[in-house]
Amino acid sequence: MSNVHPYVGRATPRVDGPLKVSGLATYAAEFFAEDMLYAAAVPATIAKGRIKRIDLSAAKGAPGVVEILTHENRPEIPEDDAPYLNDMVAVPGSPFRPLRNDKVLYSGQAIALVIADSHENARHAASLVTAEFEVETPTVDVADARSTAYEPPVPRDGIPPPPPPRGDAEATFKGSEIRLKHDYRVAPEHHNPMELQATTVVWEGGGALTIHNKTQGVINPKNYICSVFSLDPEKVRVVSPFVGGAFGMALRPHYDLFLAVLAAIKLERSVRLVLTRGQMWTMGWRPDTLQTVALSADADGKLTSVSHHAIQATSQFEDYQEPIVNWSGLIYDCPNVSLKYELAKLDVSTPSDMRAPGATTGVYALEAAMDELAYELKMDPLELRLKNYAEKDGNDDKPFSSKELRAAYEQGAKRFGWSERSPEPRSMKEGKELVGYGVATGCWEAMMQPHSARAALSADGRLEVACGTADIGTGTYTILAQIGADAFGLPIEEVTAKVGDTSLPMAPVEGGSWAAASAGNAVQLACAALKEELLKAARGLDDSPLANADVAHVTFADGKIALTSDPEKSVSYADALKAAGSERLEAKGDFAPDGEFAEKYASYTHSAVFAEVRVDEELGVVRVERIVSAVAAGKILNLATARSQILGGVVMGVGMALHEESVWDKSLGRIMNANLGEYHVPAHADIHDIDVIFVDEEDKANPMGVKGLGEIGIVGAAAAVANAVFHATGKRIRELPITIDKLL
Amino acid sequence: MMNFSYTRATSVGEAIQAVVQDPQARFIAGGTNLVDLMKYNVERPGRLVDITRLPLDRIEETPGGGLKIGALVPNSDLAYDERIERDYPLLSSAILAGASAQLRNAATTGGNLLQRTRCYYFYDVGTPCNKREPGSGCPARTGVNRIHAILGASDACIATHPSDMCVALAALGATVHVEGPDGERTIPFSDFHRLPGSEPEKDNTLSRGEIVTAVELPKPRFGKNHTYLKLRDRLSYAFALVSVAAAIELDGDVIGEARLALGGVAHKPWRDEAAEASLKGKLPSSSAFEEAGDIVLRNAKGHGHNDFKIELARRAIARALGQAAAGTPQVQANKSIN
Ligand SMILES: Cc1cc2nc3c(=O)[nH]c(=O)nc-3n(C[C@H](O)[C@H](O)[C@H](O)COP(=O)(O)OP(=O)(O)OC[C@H]3O[C@@H](n4cnc5c(N)ncnc54)[C@H](O)[C@@H]3O)c2cc1C
Ligand code: SF4
């Protein structure tokens, strides 16, 4: 680092903050085009069956209506699956495509698209479309489909199936005196970021399209649209600079994108489609999952067997998969492990990744079972976890690239005051309320993906760093600017970060918490390359004071390149640019994860989560008094945005433990609480103190030592709360969320 | 949402005429409920008659020593009015237990009375619902009914009235002032909302074109021994699963008069005079409170998901009466229940 006060590692305020709070940040539904048309999607009111007739007469006569598309009159679309599989996040199966035919696959599926001259007229006309259906009885509860469960025949790309069994878990369990086996269930959830799913397609003429789509990676909608509609990639640009939260729901292209582009092409006009809040329940979701965990241990608390079986919901047409059970083979050290993962098909939309997909659900069950085991053993739950601490990843039999979970347990326990816990359930009380302490471990894979980035210095002294990744609210803009500022010793105000545009260097979707490590390292590499270029230019000056210097011997700061040993000898960035004969000098950086390293080491982030709850037993009311989350996630680039990620994850974990649940009517197959009034996420009153600790952890999986932490915050949080509820009340609720009725 | 036209009324008479003349017209006050329902296509008024500029925004003292609250007084202003806080703290507390600060700023007294049920099916035009479409059926009875009624429901409808404020008004024995095409009249609060019976489409006893002009509170009572206890699925900003308004007047050591009303359990704020009478003359005690609860719930009936509400209501009644008797009302900002 060349500047005296590096930004990296510090709590640097968000560089995009002022734009966001002043409303100047432009989201997908806020781009305008001349003569733009507005679309509204009409949802199916049944969950399974066939459209017999759609009546458009009233809608057609409504003011401002330009066109109404249905499966009967839509333009031709490819019948093969292949073009629709040009989606980086596609899962095995036949991807959904709107208006394909008369079949209804899930409730809320778009059966018509109304296009009108204003948003209001489009919605009005959409409300006048009626349809008759041939209704079949839907299945929407995974428990009702249990008998049809199957192991996914084709694994999803990037999602490892459970490892083969090691040892003999079943026999060990049978022969054990200390053992338990329980069923756990987490309610289905929907992401519900603040920003609605939306697409604005700008018809540029000559077959060129600029698309603004709510997405976690502009490349994905671009590839998908080009292949589905046979468009020339040179003529399609996707620009989505800001995303109002996504949590995984905007990884895959959704029907708003398909329909808006379909309409724009058909009408040769710009079109915007914004889904309604209710329609946010007609796409990806965190799938309902039935889990069984069996554990056995010796009298000292050493685990002798772990079995974990999950049956997870998916749609009729795709095998959505997430790693639910694998965690149980690597978080603790155990010689006998058996993991099984199955799917069951329901008449629902395909589930999708939702913050720490799989881990949130699976680690909850494992950590609840571990807590039960601790009480069975009359052992401190934290002690039990330390006793079974894994020094290597048992699934892959590899050492960890780094694992400071022990430090996280220690520092978290200290900050929380875990030692003040009295061991017996129901033994702590304050006023009318029972008090409970709970702990859980969190774990998430530290992933990386190939990313390219660009760094450019211009004559006005400004640096631009750019990468086609997305900032879904996590702080990507800020960390990229920090890295650039440090590389050139610039104040961060003189650095512009750019993301969310297919004209920028290639990046995949932003997911799996890999963006900070991948885009961050790519920008770092681009800056290093740019430094070389700039120094080369400076050396080329007549009588250059840096004539023989190489990059190791110079410092980039204060607008100039100086010899580190003799700072008087320097060349300003401006003079170097002049020498290069250019107003702007740019360089690229290509980052790819180190495959050899990954062969040798397993990389994970870890956390220790401690929760204190207060329970009014008589009335079943639970309050989360405080949470301490101690996280080991490698190098922390920005303490402020990193902390915010953990806070958000913890709040979502509290929601999973106590509030969130999408409720289907089993006979109608519809989600009945598809609005934010009745789908409860934690309100301010539900959240008190959340204390975040980042423990020091040095990791070598990538040059910057970054692991990413968008997801680790939620993993373990729900289990810590649920375990605290048990400690308070002696009641083990194995179905989340823990609502009043379950505690009465 | 559908397109609509908009009129701003300048007098009560004009507002009434506008609604009487146009069968598609509806009054709009704060809009916090009506606009939501329009977005869901549940309400499809062709015309909105905006009543927010009518001179109904005052709280006036009545000759009888009570207060007359104009129908347009915002929920927040009412909750924080000095006289209400001092003389009718139960009402203030109940209002503050509801919705959010932003909603209470926009919501009006009249609108709060006339807000519609939060039944999931009522809100979803893709499903049948007798209240929305008479005769189409009631899927809630065998479906998702966690938030539904345990008292006074009918085969046709098991919806609840969602208001918190109205539970306190029922307990306090308020009177509703209305004006319509046929002139003015007053309605005792317990007769304002109705049970669903075979006509669940009717939430209340207003006739078409009638406008609520004011809510009148009788002379202040129960200033010391009262509480509003609300139980819900998160600690704020959720409708009541069960709520209890309890008010007691002590006569020496014994209960002189008691008021007990429940929210979230029926198609109307549920006041039970038999339970109130059972408390009269008794020393405040858990057994007396439990007996009152048993009376309130003597005919309670669950429908599956909401079975727990019967037990929850029983416990909440006892707890609330205890709070009231002790003179330690629930403070809404305090999330631990005393
Ligand atoms: C997310 C959310 C959460 C909420 N939570 C709660 C809660 O916890 N507790 C609670 O009690 N409430 C809650 N509410 C409801 C809120 O209190 C009501 O929406 C509000 O009181 C309605 O008042 P308004 O003035 O906005 O009515 P409007 O929406 O304007 O009108 C509602 C109805 O009343 C009619 N109307 C209005 N004024 C008059 C009048 N003077 N005469 C005749 N008819 C009239 C209208 O025609 C319409 O049919 C919540 C609302 C929302 C949106
Ligand atoms: S309970 Fe009432 S409002 Fe709900 S579906 Fe039945 S009839 Fe409709």
Residue B122 contacts A where some CB pair is shorter than 8 Å:
no
Tokens 């619902």 sit at which residue?
B129
Mean pLDDT for the stretch of residues A312-326 = 98
Q: Coil, helix or strand for B334?
A: coil
Q: Are A173 and A306 in contact (CB under 8 A)?
A: no
DSSP string, A372-393: HHHHHHT--HHHHHHHTB-SEE
Which CB contacts under 8 angstroms, 24+ apart, belong to A328-331?
A: A328/A293, A328/A362, A328/A366, A329/A162, A329/A163, A329/A166, A329/A394, A329/A395, A330/A390, A330/A393, A330/A394, A330/A395, A330/A396, A330/A443, A330/A602, A330/A604, A331/A363, A331/A366, A331/A390, A331/A441, A331/A443
Atom number, ligand 1, closest to the C-alpha of residue B263? 11
- Whether A432 is covered by a domain: the verdict is yes
List Cβ neighbours of B4 (8 Å cut-off, separation of 6 or more): B38, B45, B46, B47, B48
Instruction: Output the domain CATH number for residue A738.
Output: 3.30.365.10
Q: Which of B116, B127, B157, B194 has most ligand 2 atoms within 8 Å of its beta carbon, as the pocket-test mutant?
A: B157
Q: Do A45 and B126 touch (CB under 8 A)?
A: yes
Residues of B with Cβ-Cβ distance to A124 under 8 angstroms: 1-3
Q: Residue A186 corresponds to which amino acid?
A: V
Q: Quick one: three-class SS letters along A84-143? A: HHCCCCCCCECCCCCCCCCEECCCCCEEEEEEECCHHHHHHHHCCCEEEEEECCCCCCHH
pLDDT exceeds 70 at position A295: yes
Q: Which residue has the higher pLDDT, A1 or A17?
A: A17
Residues A314 and A416 placed together within one structural domain of the fold: yes
Task: Give the mean pLDDT of chain A.
Answer: 97
A632 in Cβ contact with A623 (< 8 Å):
no
Question: Which residues of chain A make contact with B338, given a CB cutoff of 8 A?
Answer: 431-432
Please identify which residue in the block is written with the tokens 């640096």.
Answer: A463
CB contact under 8 A, B236 and A683: yes
Give the ligand whose atoms come closest to the C-alpha of residue B145: 2
For residue A34, what are the contacts with CB-CB under 8 A and spacing of at least 6? A270
DSSP state of A526: H
Nearest to B124 among A120, A672, A686 (CB): A672
Contacts (Cβ under 8 Å, ≥6 apart) of B315: A618, A619, A744, B293
Confidence of residue A1 (pLDDT cuts 50, 70, 90): very low
Give residue B1 CA to ligand 2 midpoint distance, Å. 21
Every domain of chain B with CATH number 3.30.390.50 lies at 226-326
Range A206-229 burial, b when 16+ CB lie within 10 A, else e: eeebbbbbbbbbbbbbbbbbbbbb
Q: Residue A4: inside a domain, yes or no?
A: no
User: Across the strands, what pairs with A199?
Assistant: A213, A273
Residue contact A680–B238, C-beta within 8 A: yes
Indicate whether residue B158 lines ligand 2 (CB < 6 A).
yes
Do A103 and A39 lie in a common domain?
yes
The span from the CA of A674 to the CA of B77, in Å, is: 32
How does pLDDT run across B286-314, given as a tens digit for each residue?
999 999 999 999 999 999 999 999 999 99
Position A207 confidence tier, pLDDT thresholds 50, 70, 90: confident
| Same domain, residue pair A233 and A296 | no
Q: What's the mean pLDDT in A321-349?
A: 98
- Classify residue A372 as left (phi > 0), alpha (psi -120 to 50) or beta: alpha
Task: Tally A–B CB contacts below 8 A.
Answer: 116
Contact between A282 and B126 under an 8 Å Cβ cutoff? The reply is no
What gap in Å lies between CA A70 and CA A590, rounded to an integer? 44
Tell me, using a 6 A CB cutoff, whether residue B15 lines ligand 1: no
Q: Are residues A172 and A106 in the same domain?
A: no
Report in angstroms the alpha-carbon separations of A443 from A68, A212, A363, A642, A713. Answer: 48, 34, 8, 16, 9
Please tell me if the CB atom of residue B107 comes closer than 6 angstroms to any atom of ligand 2: no
> Measured between beta carbons, which residues in chain A are less than 8 angstroms from residue B144?
663-665, 672-673
Tell me whether residue A243 is exposed, middle or buried, using C-beta atoms within 10 angstroms of its C-beta: 0 to 12, 13 to 18, 19 or more: buried
- Comparing CA positions, the residue from A715, A447, A448, A719 lying closest to residue A606 is A715
Tens digits of per-residue pLDDT, A164-176? 999 999 999 999 9
Rounded CA separation A74/A79 (Å): 13
Q: Quickly list DSSP for A483-499.
A: HHHHHHT--GGGEEEE-
Q: Are A121 and A267 in a shared domain? A: yes
Question: Looking at the structure, do residues A269 and A292 belong to the same domain, yes or no?
Answer: no
Nearest-by-CA chain A residue for B124:
A672
Q: Where are the beta strands (DSSP E) in B181-298?
A: 183-188, 211-217, 225-231, 242-251, 254-263, 270-271
Across the range A239-262, mean pLDDT stands at 98
DSSP state of A342: E
Tokens 């669903």 found at = B196
| A277 close to A251: Cβ distance less than 8 angstroms | no
Q: Are B94 and B245 in contact (CB under 8 A)?
A: yes
**Chain B, 214-243: which have a CB under 8 Å from a chain A CB?**
231, 233-239, 241
Q: How many whole angstroms separate alpha carbon A595 and alpha carbon A601? A: 10
**Ligand 2 atom at shortest distance from the alpha carbon of B117:** 3
Cβ neighbours around A21 below 10 Å, total:
10
B331 touches chain A (CB under 8 A): no
Q: Is the pTM of this model over 0.95?
A: yes
Q: CB of B168 within 8 A of CB of B328?
A: no
Task: Show the tokens assigned to A659.
Answer: 């509030």
Residues A351 and A403 in one domain: yes
| Cα A242 to Cα A265, A500, A572, distances in angstroms | 25, 7, 35
Tell me how far apart the alpha carbons of residues A606 and B256 are, in angstroms, rounded to a whole number. 62
**SS3 per residue for A557-622:** ECCEEEECCCCCCEEEHHHHHHHCCCCEEEEEEEECCCHHHHHHCECEEEEEEEEEEEEECCCCEE
How many A from CA of B130 to the centre of ligand 2?
6
Q: In angstroms, what is the span from residue B96 Cα to ligand 1's centroid? A: 14
Q: Is A63 close to B1, i.e. CB distance below 8 A? A: no
Residues in a beta bridge with A498: A466
Ranges for all domains in chain B classified under CATH 3.30.43.10: 1-52
Number of structural domains chain A divides into: 3
CA distance A142 to A342: 11
Per-residue confidence (pLDDT) for residue A251, from 0 to 100: 98
A539 and A500 in a single domain? The answer is yes
For A659, which of B44, B234, B335 is closest by C-beta distance? B234
Residue A3 has pLDDT above 60, yes or no: no
Expressed in angstroms and rounded, the spacing between residue A614 Cα and the centre of ligand 1 is: 33
Q: Residue A721 in contact with residue A658, Cβ under 8 Å?
A: yes
Q: Helices marked H in A587-716 — which ranges?
A: 595-600, 639-658
Asked whether residue A63 is domain-assigned, the answer is yes
Residue B192 in contact with ligand 2 by CB distance below 6 A = no
Q: Let me know whether A415 and A564 are in one domain.
A: no
d(CA A243, CA A215): 7
Q: Is B43 in the pocket of ligand 1 (CB under 6 A)?
A: no
Domain C-terminal end among A266, A282, A298: A282
Burial zone of A46 (CB within 10 Å; 0-12 exposed, 13-18 middle, 19+ buried): buried
Instruction: State how beta strands B183-188 and B59-61 pair.
Output: unpaired
- The closest of B91, B138, B142 to B117, measured between CA atoms, is B138
Nearest to A515 by CA among A698, A352, A704, A700: A704
What is the ipTM for the molecules in this complex?
0.97
Q: What is the CA radius of gyration of chain A?
A: 27
Low-confidence ranges of chain B (pLDDT < 50): none
In this prediction, residue B234 carries a pLDDT of 97
A89-119 pLDDT, tens digit per residue, is 999 999 999 999 999 999 999 999 999 999 9
Domain that holds residue A438: 146-189+285-447+599-743
> In the structure encoding, which two tokens stand for residue A491, read together?
């104040």
**pLDDT grade for A4, boundaries at 50, 70 and 90:** low
Binding site membership of B138 for ligand 2 (Cβ less than 6 Å): yes
Question: How far is residue B337's CA from residue A539's CA, in Å, rounded to a whole number?
Answer: 74
Task: Give percent above pLDDT 90 in chain A.
Answer: 98
**Contact yes or no for A621 and B316 at CB 8 A:** no
Do A198 and A118 belong to one domain? Answer: yes
Is residue A107 within 8 A of residue A47, CB to CB? The reply is yes
Q: With a 6 A CB cut-off, is B120 part of the ligand 2 pocket? A: no
Among chain B residues, the shortest Cα distance to A688 is held by: B335
3.40.50.360, 3.40.50.2300, 3.30.930.10, 3.30.390.50: CATH of B226-326 = 3.30.390.50
List the single residue in B120, B125, B127 with the smallest CB-CB distance to A678.
B120
Which is nearest to B245 in space by CA: B317, B191, B325? B317
Tokens representing A163 are 């490892």
Which two structure tokens, joined as six digits, stand for B312?
A: 């929850």
Contacts of A106 (CB under 8 A, 6+ apart): A44, A47, A48, A282, A315, A347, A348, A349, A669
Q: Does B315 touch chain A (CB under 8 A)?
A: yes
For CA atoms B193, B194, B196, B202, give the dihedral sign. Answer: negative
Give the one of B123, B127, B238 whose C-beta lies nearest to A668's C-beta. B127
Fold exhibited by the domain B1-52: 3.30.43
Instruction: Please tell me if the CB atom of residue B154 comes closer than 6 angstroms to any atom of ligand 2.
Output: no
How high is the pLDDT of residue A206?
87
Which among B57, B115, B160, B210 is the best mutation to test ligand 1's pocket, defined by most ligand atoms within 8 Å of the CB?
B115
Strands A289-297 and A178-186: antiparallel
Do B238 and A433 count as a contact with CB atoms less than 8 A apart? no
Phi then psi dihedrals of residue A735, to 5 deg: -125, 115
* Any atom of ligand 2 within 6 Å of the Cβ of B181: no
* Closest residue by CA, ligand 2 atom 8: B129
Out of A262, A282, A302, pick the residue that ends a domain: A282
Which ligand 1 atom minimizes the distance to the CA of B72? 41
| The token pair that represents B100 in the structure block | 């959010």
Domain assignment present for residue A141? The answer is no
A505 and A548 inside one domain:
yes
| Chain B residue with minimum CA distance to A739 | B233
Look up the CATH number of the domain holding residue A60.
3.90.1170.50
Q: What token pair was written down for B127? A: 């499903």
Same domain, A678 and A648: yes
The Cα–Cα gap between A480 and A498 comes to 9
Interchain contact, B2 vs A124, CB within 8 Å: yes
